[in-house]
Structure 1
Amino acid sequence: MIRLDRQGFIIHASANISELGIDCSAALLLPHITDLAERDHAPFLGEHVAATLAGRGQTGWIEFPVIACPEHDTCRETGCQRWYALSLKPMLDEAGTPDGALCLMRSIQQLRSLEGELHARAITDPLTGLANRQAFCASLRRHLAHGGGQMIAVFAVDGMRALLMRYGQRTADEVVWGFAKFLETMALPGHELAQLDGERFAVLLPEMTSRGAREWAEDVVATFAGLAAPASAKAPQLTASAGLARVECTVDWTLREAELGLVLARAGGGRQVAVAGHRRAA
């Protein structure tokens, strides 16, 4: 429980406020309610409190993060940030004008953490940990909104269906996971990786020319073939192929062009990089 004066300064608070790094009893100057909020959210909290104290605020709860540690004024570490919800009830004097407010604050950190976890699961592939198709398409839409023009590559391990039928789902999952980790090691700073489905991966290649994108993709394909060379004649030969396209028109068009390039590359025997209408061995 917190009591505010008509300017929003804290004139009384329960002992629990010490958990937020503020000691009202030892303060020479009254802290303002916005002193509780993380710096970037203080203006929003201040506007809401000012409107409520002026008698024009909306009822209900507002949410904001608090920097809750001894270094309250300087600490900006993510682990020190906790989310709280605040509800205000204006107090009126005998003339019926606002004369401060009573505030209730409650922690919603657990709810926020759960929401963040659910969001992360919704946009992440559970097997590889990469962004999923939904997240990658959202990224493409953002790039298209700014004009597009970037290159993307769509990769797939050749012969995954035959591998699945011969060795089973567990082995296929291990190959998919391994190829995802391989792509992560080959990706350059700024590249965005995603898993489009069970066997196809996409990489957004910002600030790369079409020639640079082709050379990078060919290096990926050749390196994977070398690393995945079978140790014996009975082991499967793993190779990969890729299709390239430029981010333009729409998300569906962009992905269709890249996936058509992948189809052409695999139709040529695999271990190739192709653009729709053009093929070139790695």
Structure 2
Amino acid sequence: MRIGLSDVEGHVLHGLLEETSGDIVIRLDRHGFIIHASANIAELGQDFSAALLLPHITDLATRDYSAFLGEHVSAALAGQARLGWVEFPVIACAERETCREGRCQSWYALSLRPMRDSTGTPDGAMCLMRSVQQVRSLEGELHARAVTDPLTGLANRQAFCASLRRHLAKGGGQMVAVFAVDGMRALLLRYGQRTADEVQWGFAKFLETMALPGQELAQLDGERFAVLLPELTARAAREWAQDVVATFAGLAAPASAKAPQLTASAGLARVECTVDWTLREAELGLVMARAGGGRQVGVAGYHRVA
């Protein structure tokens, strides 16, 4: 959209365009409607040239962020001290009204500077929109690495404990299972770290296959895996864990007498008290299962989960 600007506004706009290569320059009226935008707003799939009505700045944001952006812009236009950058997602697509593709969503930051006319009356604002998608993507990658085990791709202990804390805050009561491949340390000493890593990776993928919808998986350390079973009763959780153990033993049966016999064991507990208490109870169940020869499911304090 091209609406005539005053000489002062034109000079300001020209300067901004020279200094902010790649940024989108926008002129708002006192109500937040866009009365001018630099040509590169077309990157957002916007074509204001044929618009019959002035678009509002909030029309650029996705529905979930429209009110948030409107609140920020209104405060800035009213002269309140909220002039920092604000970030929001935009559907950068020509069919933005109907497009729901996540790949079309891109994050932008907006900065506003209120303007006044010759009488000192508020007269809208000049804005800069700057893409921050690359920064957002990098932050997402760093967060994913911080909460993901690099070998198996499962959530790590930190992420799993955070999930347990959220469930405990809502009252707890869910079942949790801790699995481990039996004789993992002996396997490591005999065949080396590479083979041990392959077994860990393979068992992680096996657990992903056996997991039911809504169950959360994690690798607690180099030997133990955890599964949160939010929809299962204690009896159903034990039956599921026994099925996992039996199925793994069948799939991992050695092809020759020289190949190692791989089995797994599990411990069950209810999510209660604290995260440490919950994991300790589950790991005690695992110890009991292994003490019984492995390939079993153990429950410490069975009266609490029966």
Q: Does the TM-score normalized on the shorter chain lie above 0.5?
A: yes
Q: In structure 1, how many angstroms separate the alpha carbons of the residues matched to 2:119 and 2:226?
A: 67
- In the alignment, what sits opposite 1:63? 87
- Give TM-score, length-normalised by structure 1: 0.97
Deviation at 1:244, TM superposition (A): 0.3
Relative to 1, partners in 2 of residues 1:277 and 1:29: Cα closer, same or farther, differing over 3 Å?
A: closer
The answer to whether structure 1 residue 40 and structure 2 residue 64 are counterparts is yes
How many residue pairs match? The answer is: 278
Equivalent pair of 1:12/1:24 in contact (CA under 8 Å): no
Give the SS at the match of 1:121.
Answer: helix
Q: In structure 2, how many angstroms separate the alpha carbons of the residues matched to 1:46 and 1:254?
A: 45
Question: Of 202, 208, 230, which residue of structure 2 is paired with 1:178?
Answer: 202
Q: In structure 1, how many angstroms separate the alpha carbons of the residues matched to 2:301 and 2:109?
A: 57
- In the alignment, what sits opposite 2:111? 87
The answer to whether structure 1 residue 135 and structure 2 residue 135 are counterparts is no
- In the alignment, what sits opposite 2:220? 196
Question: Of 160, 184, 191, which residue of structure 1 is paired with 2:184?
Answer: 160
Equivalent pair of 1:261/1:276 in contact (CA under 8 Å): yes
Q: In structure 1, how many angstroms separate the alpha carbons of the residues matched to 2:301 and 2:67?
A: 55
Structure 2 gaps, min length 5? 1-24
Q: In structure 1, how many angstroms separate the alpha carbons of the residues matched to 2:282 and 2:77?
A: 57
Structure 1 gaps, min length 5? none
Q: In structure 1, how many angstroms separate the alpha carbons of the residues matched to 2:282 and 2:276?
A: 10
- In the alignment, what sits opposite 2:259? 235
Question: Of 69, 73, 80, which residue of structure 1 is paired with 2:97?
Answer: 73
Q: C-alpha deviations, 1:206-262, integer Å up to 9, x for none?
A: 121111111110111111111111111111110000000000001110000000110
2:155 corresponds to which letter in structure 1? A
- Give TM-score, length-normalised by structure 2: 0.89
Q: In structure 2, how many angstroms separate the alpha carbons of the residues matched to 1:24 and 1:211?
A: 62
Q: In structure 2, how many angstroms separate the alpha carbons of the residues matched to 1:94 and 1:208?
A: 70
Q: In structure 2, how many angstroms separate the alpha carbons of the residues matched to 1:175 and 1:265?
A: 20
Question: What do you get for the CA RMSD once the two structures are aligned?
Answer: 0.9
2:59 corresponds to which letter in structure 1? D
Deviation at 1:182, TM superposition (A): 0.7
Q: C-alpha deviations, 1:19-66, integer Å up to 9, x for none?
A: 112122221111110011011101011011111111114121000000
- In the alignment, what sits opposite 2:234? 210
Question: Of 284, 296, 301, which residue of structure 2 is paired with 1:260?
Answer: 284
Give the SS at the match of 1:269.
Answer: coil
Identity of aligned residues (%): 85
Q: C-alpha deviations, 1:142-161, integer Å up to 9, x for none?
A: 11111110000000000000
Q: In structure 1, how many angstroms separate the alpha carbons of the residues matched to 2:201 and 2:150?
A: 10
